Structure 1
């Protein structure tokens, strides 16, 4: 079997020798050069399975190498060699298309892990496997709208490298599902996928949860415990609701991501970790940075590539297909027949805004299956709020705050939305008063979810 080949480009002789010896012990054939010109000649003469390049070179920079390889041999992963702590250079390299980066001084254990992952990726791409198989998504990411086709295409690209990805989107759109697909379609698929809700961990336990602790390091630490970073070794760590991290934890997380190492509470040594970071939140991280609630340096580190998952109201054509999939899943779970939507029910669902997105659609259909007679679901079984069940895909004009004015006649120019809003506001206020302002009880009276009620209170300006 022919040995796999690696090209090393660095103007420091010591680095070239270190990588040549280390990679040679992994049964890899290594060519090492010190300039962009020599690298261009080497790349013109043969195809490599992997490339390492320094950022700063005597006659150019590593970004030129990344762009050249992307153009001439796109199946070759490129890893950038950066100076210690140079986060800006690493982020620039990842955005330019680098597979990953390694910091000087080079950690041999981390280097070997990176090489194994990169070579596995290169082999999958040559064999036509990995993220490029369109059929892999069919049963998981439902919908054929242009928006979802774009999401699939982006996932396929993101699965090919190790750049941190920030997944943006409203609550309920399926951000964790997207993160799982990025993991499963990439070279880390055989490793663990560890999701963590950052808002669900008490602040005082965060460091122990993320980095682990040693026995006796604090009261109650009766045994060694590995953290989430160690649990995700060789795989992916998904930080959901990352905006909920307190500032002191943001500092520690930034260091762990930059140095690719963690130190357990009570531990003396840092432990190298080979983990890909994916993160998500429904909040506007850029706005939180401006308000001083989220560190800018961490924001740039986790937001190397942003993937926006569209809300359901922006892909209404997917609602029938999604509904069918959910009803099939409910039937399998509950052991009953598959629910069938009437024409009126389908029309009502396609007209609804879904402030809770796919998660809300699941709740609506599960409730409808419980309430309908037999297996036929009519529009009334859906119990959709009147306000948002309308054919226009555009959001209604924001109603004025305060007490509702006298309702205009339905159909008057510009008056229909106000008329419906006033009816809805009156019904909500009445339900709140009757339930002594218990929002959960009020939502039950109105036949809507607590999330939907909270959305409407904000939308209608009811305090």
Structure 2
């Protein structure tokens, strides 16, 4: 858009600030109008259209939010809005974003940040007119009503800077949805930085998120930028946000509110300009009630909520998904004739897909590898040969299957009499009952362990082994069975030397 064609309305009751903002934006070649109240701003808006409105939150005759809501209620108005809030006023910032603001700025306003934000807002308006394509959006295969609505939602939320919280079961494509938001936004040319919060050791979280300076701690041999700085001008995607410990949640909250980070070992803060998109499979509202997730951080992240549908709720998309996935398998395996029979498709339709699209992909890969011919039939698709979701903990596992799944056996111990054998595994995790105290359960003749630490490690290892056996070594599902998070179960597995047999070296397998 030609700068001379851009007209901006500045609404503020302080003359000095109106003049400061005007001088800063006129320098960019834009046309500026000013107003000192809600009423005067309404007069300007009724006479002409603007590319952007910059308004203070508090005005003599009302709030800037009134202007935002008025614009939102006009279907033929497409002005972008930026709201200026008091320093540290998180509630007002969230309210502005929910009311449709493209972004907000905190007082005192940094003029360089003001110009960047205005440029981004105007670029977003241009992007909307040009309807940019998104490779991630195209990869979200499906034409069902629920998928059409989801794609429209992702395109719509991409227009602002408001934080987005994506919720969905494992395997529904949360990172793909986050990438679509990024690619449909004015930040598409900036970096997209995905971060798996559950995969970072707790003691390294602050350093990885905010960066560190050389010599800040043992092993810091050079400066490290951190995720926020790496995503500068783009989008930072925080996957599994529910796995962050409370201490890190507090630090993340401040970075989100103030848009500044302080690297470990540094005294000065660094201004950051990132769009934040988070994702989780967990029920964050329940975690807030239980004190496991900060309520203030939840409100900051959940400005725009997007729910991804499970595959079982959009089985009409199954033929398109199968064809798209088989297309990749054909190319990877040089088998152009590979296809699924109608009977095999009907066989898949009867499945609940607890692992969603990821499980479907695994099933097709396995079927293609084992099928004797290019035409995959229902007999080639084993719906019980492994899953990718906690929902599958309810599937029974035969003893012979269990022995094949793991290359170790839990040590036999009298204290584990309450654990069922693999062939009689409880069908629901709620059936598990903790043992009574040993002396009550086993009587006075029960032999005390000579080394309590070793004994408790054996008990813990056996319980972990059983949980992993029930879930076919799905760590997330096993953690949920035991009331742990992913980081906790990984720590315990490492401490007790428990590993997935599929990841073991060939010489270690038996």
1: CA distance, partners of 2:476 / 2:116: 49
**Residues 137 and 180 in structure 2, CA contact (< 8 A), matched pair in contact too:** no
2: CA distance, partners of 1:383 / 1:110: 56
| 1:428 equivalenced with 2:398 (yes/no) | yes
Assess, with a 3 A threshold, how the Cα gap between structure 1 residues 452 and 268 changes in structure 2: closer, same or farther: closer
| 1:286 equivalenced with 2:288 (yes/no) | no
Q: Deviations over 1:402-451 (max 9, x none)?
A: xxxxxxxxxxxxxxxxxxx9xx64x53564478676799999999x9644
Deviation at 1:74, TM superposition (A): 3.3
**Pairing of 1:44-63 with structure 2 (within 5 A):** 44-63=46-65
- The corresponding residue for 2:113 is 110
- The corresponding residue for 1:243 is 242
2: CA distance, partners of 1:433 / 1:137: 40
1: CA distance, partners of 2:401 / 2:61: 73
Deviates more, 1:286-295 or 1:110-119: 110-119
Q: Deviations over 1:383-406 (max 9, x none)?
A: 112999xxxxxxx9x99xxxxxxx
SS in 1 for 2:161: coil
**Residues 51 and 79 in structure 2, CA contact (< 8 A), matched pair in contact too:** yes
Assess, with a 3 A threshold, how the Cα gap between structure 1 residues 74 and 351 changes in structure 2: closer, same or farther: farther
Which residue of 23, 26, 29 maps to 2:25? 23
1: CA distance, partners of 2:245 / 2:476: 29
SS in 2 for 1:324: helix
2: CA distance, partners of 1:449 / 1:214: 42
TM-score between both structures, scaled by the size of structure 1: 0.84
2: CA distance, partners of 1:344 / 1:178: 31
- The corresponding residue for 1:119 is 122
Deviation at 1:336, TM superposition (A): 2.4
Q: Deviations over 1:34-65 (max 9, x none)?
A: 10011011112222111111111111111111
Unaligned 5+ segments in structure 2 are: 411-421, 423-463, 482-510
Q: Deviations over 1:4-35 (max 9, x none)?
A: 21111111223212211211222222212110
**Residues 327 and 365 in structure 1, CA contact (< 8 A), matched pair in contact too:** yes
Assess, with a 3 A threshold, how the Cα gap between structure 1 residues 286 and 213 changes in structure 2: closer, same or farther: same
Q: How many residues align?
A: 420
SS in 2 for 1:220: coil
TM-score between both structures, scaled by the size of structure 2: 0.77
**Residues 3 and 27 in structure 1, CA contact (< 8 A), matched pair in contact too:** no
**Pairing of 1:440-455 with structure 2 (within 5 A):** 450-451=473-474
Deviation at 1:453, TM superposition (A): 12
Unaligned 5+ segments in structure 1 are: 389-395, 400-420, 459-463
| 1:320 equivalenced with 2:319 (yes/no) | yes
Deviation at 1:334, TM superposition (A): 2.5
1: CA distance, partners of 2:211 / 2:33: 40
Deviates more, 1:370-379 or 1:71-80: 71-80
2: CA distance, partners of 1:159 / 1:220: 39
- The corresponding residue for 1:202 is 201
**Pairing of 1:267-282 with structure 2 (within 5 A):** 267-282=266-281
Which residue of 20, 32, 35 maps to 2:34? 32
- The corresponding residue for 2:336 is 337
2: CA distance, partners of 1:136 / 1:171: 21
**Residues 468 and 475 in structure 2, CA contact (< 8 A), matched pair in contact too:** no
2: CA distance, partners of 1:67 / 1:443: 51
- The corresponding residue for 1:260 is 259
1: CA distance, partners of 2:274 / 2:137: 27
1: CA distance, partners of 2:466 / 2:322: 27
Assess, with a 3 A threshold, how the Cα gap between structure 1 residues 377 and 155 changes in structure 2: closer, same or farther: same
